[in-house]
Amino acid sequence: MTSPLVDQARQQTLGELPRRTARRVPDKLALVDGDTRLTFAELDAVVDRVAAALHAAGLTTRDRLALLCHNSWQFAVLNFACARAGVVLVPINFMLNAEEIAFILDHSGAEAFVVEDALLPVAEQALAQSTGTARTRAVVRLHDGDVPDGWRDLQEWLDHDGTPPAVILEDDDPVRMMFTSGTESRPKGALLSSRSLLWQYVSCAIDGSMSADDIELHTLPLYHCAQLDCFLGVDVYLGATSVILPAPDPGTILRKIEEHRVTKFFAPPTVWIGLLRHPGFDDADLSSLRKGYYGASPMPVEVLREIQARLPDVALWNFYGQTEMAPLATILGPDEQLAYAGSAGRAALNVETRIVDDQDQPVSAGTVGEIVHRSPHATLGYYLDPERTDEAFRGGWFHSGDLGYLDDGGRLYVVDRKKDMIKTGGENVASREVEEAIYELDGIAEVAVFGISHPRWVEAVAAVVVPKDGAEISPDGVIAHCRERLAGFKTPKYVVVADALPKNPSGKILKRQLRDQHADLADS
């Protein structure tokens, strides 16, 4: 056992990062959000003020603060201020309805609720349905909206005159509760500690070739740990500059890369596709861009080739993982993008990955099984859910719920989510394989493949395709194209041509919604 003074001297938590970076590069630009520009010294100072304000409001170590807000510099400040105050931040997906938000408030036991002014109506509905109190309530005034009775203006916390008391946190004290999108009817609250996050930051920085010289554009939702912890947190840790946008609008992204001479950018494949299809892409000055990252869903090989052809000076990395891994698990680097297209790469620096069968026994290279990990990145477990925690960590490995295989070089190939594997006529069909085949057809902008109930085959393979502008795509043409490339049982039995695919704010295609929308295809 060490003394409290030794513990204080050795502490390295999420809340310390802005202060330590400010000591190194106080005058360097840390955050840009519209007209707001904060140096690292200014960022550290406002984090201190908000941490002090949280304590003044009565919040103590391990209390939970729920945050419902679009991307903003205030979001970034609250992320570090909560950690500095010892308060557990609970980011909430701003696309959720009132009932879903109420569940998160109640399940997390949030003592505080901070809400963007434009989202106050749904927040008020959620509070009306909640059994908890969230006694401390504050409004982020991004749109100069009014502050209702019973709420405080977050600006009061940003301007607070005070110093936070010293808070001693253990490496594995929780600082974040991230709710998974999940496949169950209710999401799970994955607890992350400073140890989880900082080891993950090290993996990202080293394997992702990140540096203090980066100027990064953040457009995906910060409530999701991909943007928040693979990129924004690492930038503050290293001393890089972060430019924050409220949403991943392709035209705005292109303009901001030019304006800020952005060198580094992360987006899921759907956003990269949106950039490639934007009419202003070829005229945009993207010469500053040097590093590109993708994740959240597999990058179609044809799109990967197009990115490399149209942005030849941009090195690409594929980041794969899960919320429970904080979130990075494996990385495919620039030198292997085309040679091993479709791979999720090798285990990251601080991760061990293997494939197991249904009895949790390791399998040989090339054999499909469940992807499992060991790492300090991993979640502390699911809040108030020991049974699902034990199930996820059975055998001492975190079970991802993804199916995949390793090649002889240790590179991971993700075959599918367990829930997305289509079982048709007694055969397993990976939706990813069918999607890759359809992407080879000229004129395809996007595609999603999924299973629907079928009276004969139990499940049937279905596809929704989105044509490129001006392209003529027919269902029969897609099916004929697939028959030339795939076994008969893998060829879609139903194809729908659509204008767009439903996506969540992180850019993931919502296959559950597609299954519901097209559940009656087999009846026609």
Q: What is the CATH number of the domain that holds 302?
A: 3.40.50.12780
Sign of torsion over alpha carbons 302, 331, 79, 189: positive
Is residue 378 one of the residues assigned to a domain?
yes
Phi–psi pair at 439, nearest 5 degrees: -60, -20
Q: Are residues 268 and 124 in the same domain?
A: no
In the chain, how many domains are there?
3
Is residue 57 one of the residues assigned to a domain?
yes
Burial 254-277 (b: 16+ CB within 10 A, else e): bebbeebebbbbbbbbbbbbbbbe
Q: Are residues 64 and 146 in the same domain?
A: yes
Closest to 339 in 3D by CA, of 321, 323, 318: 318
H-only helix segments in 365-510: 386-392, 431-439, 475-483
User: Could you identify the residue written with the tokens 């300090």?
Assistant: 376
Among residues 135, 169, 203, the one where a domain terminates is 169
Q: How far apart are CA 191 and CA 172, in angstroms?
A: 10
Among residues 418, 445, 471, the one where a domain terminates is 418
Is residue 85 left, alpha or beta, with left meaning phi > 0 and alpha meaning psi from -120 to 50? alpha
CATH of the domain at 95: 3.40.50.980
Q: Are residues 214 and 149 in the same domain?
A: no
Is residue 300 one of the residues assigned to a domain?
yes
Q: How far is residue 114 CA from its own chain's centroid?
A: 21
Is residue 182 one of the residues assigned to a domain?
no
Is residue 12 one of the residues assigned to a domain?
no
Q: Are residues 244 and 323 in the same domain?
A: yes
What tens-digit pLDDT sequence spans the chain (524 residues)?
788 889 889 999 999 999 999 999 999 999 999 999 999 999 999 999 999 999 999 999 999 999 999 999 999 999 999 999 999 999 999 988 898 899 999 999 999 999 999 999 999 999 999 998 899 999 999 998 889 999 999 999 999 999 998 899 999 999 999 998 643 447 899 999 999 999 999 999 999 999 999 999 999 999 999 999 999 999 999 999 999 999 999 999 999 999 999 999 999 888 998 999 999 999 999 999 999 999 977 788 888 999 999 999 999 999 999 999 999 999 999 999 999 988 999 999 999 999 999 999 999 999 999 999 999 999 999 999 999 999 999 999 999 989 999 999 999 999 877 667 787 876 778 788 899 899 999 999 999 999 998 877 878 999 999 999 999 999 999 999 999 988 888 999 999 999 999 988 777 788 889 999 999 998 86
Closest to 144 in 3D by CA, of 113, 161, 120: 120
Q: Are residues 318 and 388 in the same domain?
A: yes
Q: Are residues 225 and 246 in the same domain?
A: yes
Q: Give the CA diameter of the chain.
A: 73
Among residues 153, 169, 185, the one where a domain terminates is 169
What pLDDT sits at residue 296?
75
Phi–psi pair at 196, nearest 5 degrees: -55, -50
Is residue 186 one of the residues assigned to a domain?
no
H-only helix segments in 86-168: 98-108, 120-129, 154-158
List CB contacts of 150: < 8 A, sequence separation 6 or more: 137
Evaluate whether 88 touches 13 at the Cβ level (below 8 Å): no
Q: Are residues 72 and 217 in the same domain?
A: no
Is residue 423 one of the residues assigned to a domain?
no
What pLDDT sits at residue 470?
93
Residue span of the structural domain in which 156 resides:
40-169
What pLDDT sits at residue 421?
77
Is residue 185 one of the residues assigned to a domain?
no
Q: Are residues 399 and 441 in the same domain?
A: no
Q: Are residues 50 and 74 in the same domain?
A: yes
Q: Are residues 82 and 227 in the same domain?
A: no
CATH of the domain at 506: 3.30.300.30
- Written as six digits, the tokens of 384 are 């108030």
Q: Are residues 245 and 389 in the same domain?
A: yes
Q: Are residues 447 and 506 in the same domain?
A: yes
